[in-house]
Amino acid sequence: MASTTASAADAPERATEVRAKGRLYRGDLGMWSWVAHRITGVLTFFFLFVHVLDTALVRVSPNAYDTVIETYKHPVMILFELGLLAAVIFHAFNGIRVMLVDFWSKGTKYQKPMLWTVLVLWLVLIVPAAISLLSRAVNEFFGG
């Protein structure tokens, strides 16, 4: 009776890579883009959830609403605002890239250049925003 499976002796030699220690997955930039897209989506969702709750607070207790809004005016909250802006900008641009990869016939061919474009656009927008927000935070924190 003939067998359709090859024996271990017939199998070709495979080059084995040495796995880097301390890393679970040796993915490339695309894998990190996937991870960042999920994280920024979850962060944006939680912001929207908190925003709906604190806005709804005005109906329950206007004084409590005013207290929460005063908390948001603290200079440390500007850092959270910058983080939110960075997350939303990356998530939006990367979402467009994901749609192009999914629905454009040449999307998979150009996914790496599109990812680099997303990162460049993100930097072009986030650097001036960071300078503006951080200078405002420093002025408010140190009384400028």
Tens digit of pLDDT for each residue in 13-71?
655 555 556 666 667 888 889 999 999 999 999 999 999 998 999 898 999 999 999 98
Residue 101 contacts by C-beta under 8 Å, 6 or more apart in sequence?
107, 108, 111, 114
pLDDT band at 143 (very low <50, low <70, confident <90, very high): confident
pLDDT of residue 30: 83
Residue matched to tokens 């996914």? 111
Cα distance between residue 45 and residue 66, in whole Å: 23
- With pLDDT > 90 as the criterion, what percentage of the chain qualifies? 58
Residue 33 near residue 93, CB atoms below 8 Å: no
The token duo for 105 is 């016939």
pLDDT given at position 140: 85
Reduced to 3 states, what is the DSSP secondary structure of residue 68? helix
pLDDT tens digit sequence for 78-118 = 999 999 999 999 999 999 999 999 999 998 899 999 999 99
For the entire predicted model, the pTM comes to 0.76
